[in-house]
Structure 1
Amino acid sequence: MKRIIITILYVLGLFYSIMGCSTQEQDTGNSLVIYCPHPLEFINPLVEDFKVQNPGVNVDIIAAGVGELLKRVESEKDNPLGDILWGGSLNTVKPKVDLFENYTSTNEENISAEYKNVEGAITRFTTIPSVLMVNTNLAGNIKIEGYADLLNPALKGKIACADPSASSSSFEHLVNMLFAMGNGNPERGWDYVQRLCANLDGKLLSGSSAVYKGVADGEYTVGLTFEEGGANYVVAGSPVKLVYMKEGVVFKPDGIYIIKNAKNMENAKKFVDYATSYEAQKTINERLNRRSVRNDLPPSDILLSVDKINVINDNEALVEANKQNWLNKFKDIYTGI
């Protein structure tokens, strides 16, 4: 009798062990974990469409700032809990490119030449200019046409700016102002940064969303943000407008990156292919207030035409080589005021 009980328990244990493994494999195979700094208004329509096209795939979104998400990817590199980092400018992610898997999307031939994946692990997804977002009710007669206008004493303590070490859009603004106010030489732009930090009056926000929400909600008169973050409020009818800095605007692509050794690798590749597909990029272009990187879509009807913007370029290699030094210098200036 004892032998029969042991045998039954062994068989039951084996059965549950097999079932457990099967369930675990099924969960893993039909899951996708995305680390993402984008606003939910941008994320949700695309994720829902992806799920319609890939029924059965369970998508989990972990939302946070790019700086925090990159730290998470790095800390989990021996056991990745995420599959994709969806968002983050190239200037922010490139120094950590070894954390990501080489993959070329099935849509690469339709990506514009300047946005090709030449590194292997960096798929360009959208292209985004830095902008100023102005609350028109609060600004009144205060002229805000570019960076120089942010030094107006009337704006002291009324400027929303995120910590560039935590927010990729804020770091892009730091790069933009260094090149714009330094007339192409970023070292000459630091005097402006010092004066701007003084006018922030000790207010530095924790992430990108705090900037555009703060301006839209009337906490701040003007914010340093990215185009889509402000454009959503313009389209919704909020009392805000976008200003493309007269001193010059840098456009930088936003990326989508597969985390190295991701547990759901095939689903991660499917999502990269989806995000760069004609239909997804058409949605981005026409409904979600971002600029496509594909060469077979017309310009957005919503966003200001590029030919009406003073577009300038940074030096990508110089930015990459100096990123940490510039972040340290900004911190020293801000804390020293």
Structure 2
Amino acid sequence: MKKRTSLFLCLIMLTLTLAACSSGDKKTGGDSKELTVYSPHPLEFTEPLVKDFENETGIKVELISAGSGELLKRVESESKNPLSDVLWGGSISTLSSKKDLFEKYESSNEEDVIDSYKNTDGYITRFSVVPSVIMVNTNLIGDVKVEGYEDLLNKELKGTIANADPSKSSSSFEHLINQLYAMGEGVPDDGWDYVSDFVKNLDGKLLSGSSAVYKGVADGEYTVGLTFEEAALNYVKNGAPVEVVYPEEGTIAKADGMAIIKDANNLENAKKFVDYVTGKEVQQKITSELNRRSVLKGIEIDPKSGMKDLNDVKVIKDDEEWSNDNKEELLGKYKDIFTSN
């Protein structure tokens, strides 16, 4: 009887130990060689970096691409059973409002990050610097001058402007913030009259995501579009009939971010990925080859890339805390303006 009892107790202890180990592996990644990444970045940007990461680490990455708004909603809906480990991309204002969905983590490269782009909140790692720009199709623009936001009110452009829904596109939301500060001369509440006039010139057209903007302009569906620098420079580099305009009223050059999803199944692999893409080698590559500005100090810009030195661009700043705290109100006001036109 004692032997049976001892054997029974041993089996119970073994079962509990295995369960604990299994649970620990799931939380920390254990010996897992898998990683799932959600990203709104263009596939032509993410795929080369993911491939390099896989080759270097042996970790297999499942990359799922969609708009930042859609992906963030997916992370939120999956919060009790995360299906992804990393959200790679999205504006800081978009991600900051959902910090409860992320793990606290500081990358191993944080000390090399430019001071204004450091991870001050502890959750969101800054990945790259993304100025807002206007993309122009040179085959369609004709004699119409486009040097800034004011020029987009030209009636000749009505219905030919590509702009995404700011509730679904981080880059579009950043343009809304940029318009409010630039056209309000630093006072965002004073910029709404411009936004109202701009929305009228959209003629009821609001696109579903960031990629629809730059693809639409490059393919000749739209004459101009509000997008982000890297997307536009890619088309310039590949010989498309487009040019990049930095709004003369001022450009906001914010960092975009990335975060590890709370209770990620492959937590240790997620940390490795964040450290990898914020490392100096990758950061130089994204600048030299993929037309994206680095957040690290000492990364060189190739003058032949078409990327302007920010010293040659009128750069303005917003109050990020105000933008983050008022995001839902701003989106609601934009929606009201759009639906009333």
Flag whether TM exceeds 0.5 (same fold).
yes
Aligned pairs for 1:173-322 (under 5 A) are 173-301=175-303, 302=305, 303-322=307-326
Stretches of structure 2 that go unaligned for 5 or more consecutive residues are 1-18
> Which residue does the alignment assign to 1:96?
98
CA contact (8 A) 1:28 1:263 kept: no
Q: Runs (4+) of structure 1 moved beyond 3 Å?
A: 24-28
CA contact (8 A) 2:180 2:189 kept: yes
Supply the distance in 2 between the matched residues of 1:269 and 1:292 (Cα, whole angstroms): 19
Shift of 1:249: 0.3
> Which residue does the alignment assign to 2:334?
330
SS across alignment from 1:311: coil
Provide the aligned length of Structure 1 versus Structure 2. Answer: 317
> Which residue does the alignment assign to 2:13?
none
> Which residue does the alignment assign to 1:155?
157
Supply the distance in 2 between the matched residues of 1:150 and 1:61 (Cα, whole angstroms): 36
Shift of 1:299: 3.1
Supply the distance in 1 between the matched residues of 2:97 and 2:302 (Cα, whole angstroms): 31
Give the structure-1-normalised TM-score. 0.91
Identity %: 57
> Which residue does the alignment assign to 1:168?
170
Supply the distance in 1 between the matched residues of 2:187 and 2:213 (Cα, whole angstroms): 27
Supply the distance in 2 between the matched residues of 1:300 and 1:39 (Cα, whole angstroms): 21
Supply the distance in 1 between the matched residues of 2:284 and 2:176 (Cα, whole angstroms): 30
Change (3 A) 1:300 1:259: farther
Aligned pairs for 1:105-120 (under 5 A) are 105-120=107-122
Change (3 A) 1:250 1:116: same
Which of 44, 47, 51 is the aligned partner of 1:48?
A: 51
Shift of 1:298: 2.0
Shift of 1:27: 10
Stretches of structure 1 that go unaligned for 5 or more consecutive residues are 1-17
> Which residue does the alignment assign to 1:145?
147
Supply the distance in 1 between the matched residues of 2:119 and 2:322 (Cα, whole angstroms): 20
CA contact (8 A) 2:30 2:268 kept: no
> Which residue does the alignment assign to 2:73?
71
Shift of 1:28: 8.1
CA contact (8 A) 2:153 2:201 kept: yes
